[in-house]
Amino acid sequence: MYKILLCQRYLRTRYIALASIISVMLGVATMIVVNSVMSGFSHQMRDRIHGLLADVVIESHSLDGVADADLQMRIAREVANDYIEAITPTVEVYGMLNFNFAGQWITKPVTLIGIDPEGKSKVGPLRKFLDSYNPVYEDGKISREALRPAGDEPDWELSPRAWEYRRDKIDRQKWYEEQLAALESERVASSGSKNREEAGEKHASSDEAAPAVDDPFANPFQTAPGQGDQSADPYDLARGRIYVGIGLVSYPYRDPETGHMKLMMMAQPGDDVRISTVTAGRPPEHAPYLATIVDVFKSGMTEYDSSLIFCNLDELQNVRGMLSPATGKRAITSLHIKLKDYNQASAVVERLKSAFPPDQFAVKTWEQKQGPLLAAVEIESAILNVLLFLIIAVAGFGILAIFYMIVVEKTRDIGILKALGASSGGIMSIFLSYGLALGVVGSGVGVVLGLLFVHYINEIESCITWVTGRKVFDETIYYFPEIPTAVHPSMVISVALGAMLIAVLASVFPARRAARLHPVVALRRE
């Protein structure tokens, strides 16, 4: 009983000890904040990777693919129908993207994924990533509403806004060509090469909104297969349609007026671009074709956003010659599968492996496909945790020092208690429970502080931004309107328990010293 009473009294009268647990408190709060933000980010990242890939991916080793998508899907259904919710066939191949921006040709290496948008959106949340389905944020506010209702199935048609842009651009292009032709005829009449230059300059400066206007249909597309019926309707889209990763067609810049980061779009929905890939023949041959950007996708994974292009499956198969001339069946390179329950993924992978021979196919879950990246994130988070826990451990030494001083200060009282019959164990438990009480208070306050910080993290971020005048969390860099956080109760509990354990451990040494004090020596001190 006296232990509890004394412990409580010490807690209320020794404020210096409370100072020692401020570091425990801050350590706990920091750990909770960092863990929550890290797991928020990592959760988002996993979400994005998972969303772009699929639960399980079956890939053929050869870029030529395997014949007959329906047959392959049937095989997959046969072995694991109970687990499978949806399957979609895709063709994955490497290629090159060319487009004209501000008078120069931009060339980027890409991975082309031929998909059927309806099927793909059943396998993963495709709409979540497409620009036209999502509002655009600027300074934390919506600056553009979503262009399409969330219920619409994704397809290969332009949104009204993209149509408007395309018509406008082609009209300008026509006008420009007419002007050019007029000038040309004038020049033929009189030698007016100077006039032509002037006209060209004037046009370029007055038309910054559509920088790609400079002759997109010039000779690179002359041989493109998609251009066959271009003449019928000048507004008609190219036969190839793509969703292009935002990193491929934009670059970030700092707005000189506001100092905020912005994205400059080099090409946008409605523009035509040139895509080159290889045919499925032996040997593979160069296969360029023309495609219209239907939409831009942002997964938030830079790796994907700056290398992936989703294109229409049938056109890709046509261009690559993945049609069997005899049967008309189309070849594919991979199947994306969504499971009913992802927890059974490994069992499904085993079943699929038995049906798809390993010399032709690789069957993997999305996690296995992204193994190194996910492992790196996990290691990073583990190292951070170790470092932060060391902060709390350092705080433990503060507790140790202060406790030692308290024991010295309380030497006489310890002697009295022993004279009154208190056992050594009892004296020890006074200081141990004092340490525990400090740990409980410290980690309790730390937990509350940390959770409050996480809860109001966006308000705090905007406050810091306001004070420093510099954006701490830039949505154009991270693609999030807000800082993502995820609080796991198990994490909070283990951090709090760890801090309490350290407080108790730090008080063991002073408590042992107190317990070993000889009562006569202790009493003699004055």
Look at residues 250, 289, 288 and name the one whose alpha carbon lies nearest to residue 269. Answer: 250
Tell me which residues in 198-237 interact with another protein (CB under 8 A). none
Q: Minimal distance in Å, beta carbon 396 to another protein?
A: 25
Tokens of 213: 């206007």
Q: Minimal distance in Å, beta carbon 261 to another protein?
A: 59
Q: Minimal distance in Å, beta carbon 402 to another protein?
A: 17
Between 51 and 415, name the residue whose CB sits nearer to another protein. Answer: 415
Tell me which residues in 506-525 interact with another protein (CB under 8 A). 518-520, 523
Between 373 and 440, name the residue whose CB sits nearer to another protein. Answer: 440
Q: Which of 4, 181, 390, 493 binds another protein (CB under 8 A)?
A: 4
Q: Minimal distance in Å, beta carbon 422 to another protein?
A: 5
Between 232 and 420, name the residue whose CB sits nearer to another protein. Answer: 420
Between 12 and 282, name the residue whose CB sits nearer to another protein. Answer: 12
CB count, 10 Å around CB of 511? 22
Task: Kindly state the number of chain residues that form the binding site for another protein, as judged by CB under 8 A.
Answer: 27
Between 436 and 491, name the residue whose CB sits nearer to another protein. Answer: 436
Given the rule CB under 8 A, which of 5-13, 104-112, 155-163, 186-194 is the region that contacts another protein? 5-13
Between 472 and 520, name the residue whose CB sits nearer to another protein. Answer: 520
Q: Which residue has the tokens 């190839």?
A: 240
User: Pairing between strand 272-278 and 84-101?
Assistant: antiparallel
Q: Minimal distance in Å, beta carbon 463 to another protein?
A: 42
Q: How far is CA 245 from CA 75, 99, 477, in A?
A: 32, 14, 14
Between 318 and 433, name the residue whose CB sits nearer to another protein. Answer: 433
The secondary structure element, H or E, covering residue 60 is: strand 56-60
Asked if 378 and 481 touch (Cβ cutoff 8 Å), the reply is: no
According to the 3-state scheme, what is the secondary structure of 418-430?
HHCCCCHHHHHHH
Q: Does a cis peptide bond (omega within 30 degrees of 0) precede residue 283?
A: yes
Q: Minimal distance in Å, beta carbon 9 to another protein?
A: 4
Look at residues 491, 504, 154 and name the one whose alpha carbon lies nearest to residue 295. Answer: 154
The alpha carbons of the chain give a radius of gyration, in whole angstroms, of 33
Tokens of 224: 């493109």
Between 5 and 394, name the residue whose CB sits nearer to another protein. Answer: 5
Tokens of 403: 């406790």
Q: What are phi and psi of 90, to 5 degrees?
A: -140, 165
Q: Minimal distance in Å, beta carbon 8 to another protein?
A: 9
Tell me which residues in 416-475 interact with another protein (CB under 8 A). 416-424, 426
Range 68-73 contact pairs with CB under 8 angstroms and sequence separation of 24 or more: 68/324, 68/327, 68/329, 68/330, 68/331, 69/329, 69/330, 69/331, 69/332, 69/335, 70/329, 71/329, 72/332, 72/335, 73/335
User: 89 pairs with which residues across the strands?
Assistant: 335
Q: What are phi and psi of 296, to 5 degrees?
A: -115, 135
Q: Which residue has the tokens 């099927």?
A: 119
Between 112 and 515, name the residue whose CB sits nearer to another protein. Answer: 515
Given the rule CB under 8 A, which of 1-9, 53-61, 246-254, 471-479 is the region that contacts another protein? 1-9
Binding string, residues 9-48; x marks residues near another protein by CB under 8 A? xx--x-----------------------------------
Q: Minimal distance in Å, beta carbon 517 to another protein?
A: 12
Given the rule CB under 8 A, which of 7-15, 103-111, 357-365, 506-514 is the region that contacts another protein? 7-15
Q: Minimal distance in Å, beta carbon 2 to another protein?
A: 4
Binding string, residues 381-420; x marks residues near another protein by CB under 8 A? -------------------------------xx-xxxxxx
Burial of 325 (0-12, 13-18, 19+ CB in 10 A): exposed
DSSP 288-314: EEEEEEEEEE--S-HHHHTTEEEEEHH
> What gap in Å lies between CA 192 and CA 494, rounded to an integer?
81
Tokens of 116: 């059927």
Q: Does 2 bind another protein (CB under 8 A)?
A: yes
Between 2 and 456, name the residue whose CB sits nearer to another protein. Answer: 2
Between 85 and 409, name the residue whose CB sits nearer to another protein. Answer: 409
Q: Minimal distance in Å, beta carbon 420 to another protein?
A: 5
Burial of 308 (0-12, 13-18, 19+ CB in 10 A): buried
Between 6 and 21, name the residue whose CB sits nearer to another protein. Answer: 6
Q: Minimal distance in Å, beta carbon 22 to another protein?
A: 22
Residues in contact with another protein by the rule CB under 8 A: 1-6, 9-10, 13, 412-413, 415-424, 426, 518-520, 523, 526
